[in-house]
Structure 1
Amino acid sequence: MINRSVLIILPAQDFNEQEYLIIINALERSHVKVFIASDAYALCSGSNGLKVKNDMQLYNIHESNFGGIIFIGGSGVRNYWNNSHLHSIARKFHLKKKPVGAICAAPIILAKAGIITECATCYPDDKKELERTGVEYKDNPIIISNNIVTAKDPSSVGEFIKIFLNELAKN
């Protein structure tokens, strides 16, 4: 049975609203149930003031409840790069072969979690941080490796979500 639910990890502050809105709309149009997780206690704040209520705290995530996970980018995601709990969550989804997606600055979380080992894309300003993890930076809009999809920036989000939905349908 296909699990038609996706967990979105949002930074508490300064998430990329464009990425978030495009992904939410595409998932809802595809009849995928969306859940938002963050370490915010009430509302997550986007880079332009959009407020989003989270459904759960990061510490209440059980990967068995979701078909896949997406890490939204934005400048606020840099505060999560070294979050060992998020690393653990990413590894659990990856080990269950569920789709794992990350956009903009968020692929660094996956690299630091050890689930990206060869190459990925990310926001060009964060290239050096990605390379410090031993992962080769590729200046491509999208990189797909097994069940992991990384996207460079907001201009890649439309293609990213199509590929992610295809990966979700495979499970």
Structure 2
Amino acid sequence: MQRVLIIATDGFEQSELVQPRDLLAEAGAEVTIASLKRGEIRGWDQKDWGESVPVDCTLDQVNAEDFDALLLPGGQMNPDVLRTEHKVIDIVREFDAAQKPIAAICHAPWLLAEADIIEGHTVTGWPSIRTDLSNAGAAVVDEEVVVDGNLITSRKPADIPAFAQALMSALNMEGADG
């Protein structure tokens, strides 16, 4: 069974956490949600606060060795808060150093830039962060999903099926169709 860690906090784009989580779980993955606090975190659903999801553990309880992949949902608020948390950046770097898949969608590639792991890689992301990604040394493209080494990036909620499928492929999992 593949074990996937999702790191998020309040303000995550709801569809970008819930849909990949559900697709991965349906394909047989064990999915763990880690955050800055215990309890629940609240999603952002397009233009207003959305539903809350339960947190399985706090970041200080996370050991990258216990997981096969890392998934980083976007939204504007979520990755902007997380990129200032040293523990989050350390975890991203640990997954990268182990060459484990790291899947980041929408604004979440900000975390990859903050971790200084995208230089020389091709990535995509939400249009407003593409300059930041380029300034961090990445080649930035406008594509549904980009896989470059262990990094998997996508632009927006409409890309979720391809995004989740790319992560499942990286984990050699049979997933739902496209």
8 Å Cα contact 2:32-2:56 kept in structure 1: yes
Question: C-alpha distance in 2, partners of 1:143/1:82?
Answer: 25
Alpha carbon RMSD of aligned pairs, Å?
Answer: 1.5
Number of residue pairs aligned between Structure 1 and Structure 2 = 167
User: Paired residue for 1:59?
Assistant: 60
Identity within the alignment, %: 26
Residue-by-residue CA offset, 1:120-165 (whole Å, 9 max, x unaligned):
1111112222223222321112111111101111111100111101
1:145-164 equivalences under 5 Å are 145-164=148-167
Shift of 1:87: 1.7
Shift of 1:49: 2.2
8 Å Cα contact 1:82-1:109 kept in structure 2: no
Q: TM-score, normalised by structure 1?
A: 0.91
User: Paired residue for 1:105?
Assistant: 107
Say whether 1:27 aligns with 2:24.
yes
Shift of 1:115: 1.7
Stretches of structure 1 that go unaligned for 5 or more consecutive residues are none
Question: C-alpha distance in 2, partners of 1:8/1:112?
Answer: 17
Instruction: Say which SS state the counterpart of residue 50 (structure 1) adopts.
Output: strand
Please, which moves more after superposition, 161-170 or 66-75? 161-170
* Misfit runs of 4+, over 4 Å: none
Instruction: Say which SS state the counterpart of residue 158 (structure 2) adopts.
Output: helix
Q: TM-score, normalised by structure 2?
A: 0.87
Shift of 1:53: 1.3
Shift of 1:86: 1.5
User: Paired residue for 1:46?
Assistant: 43
8 Å Cα contact 1:42-1:53 kept in structure 2: yes
User: Paired residue for 2:8?
Assistant: 10
Residue-by-residue CA offset, 1:5-26 (whole Å, 9 max, x unaligned):
1001112x11111111210111
Say whether 1:140 aligns with 2:140.
no
Stretches of structure 2 that go unaligned for 5 or more consecutive residues are 174-178
User: Paired residue for 1:70?
Assistant: 71
User: Paired residue for 2:170?
Assistant: 167
Please, which moves more after superposition, 98-107 or 136-145? 136-145
8 Å Cα contact 2:8-2:82 kept in structure 1: no
Pick the aligned partner of 1:130 from 128, 133, 139.
133
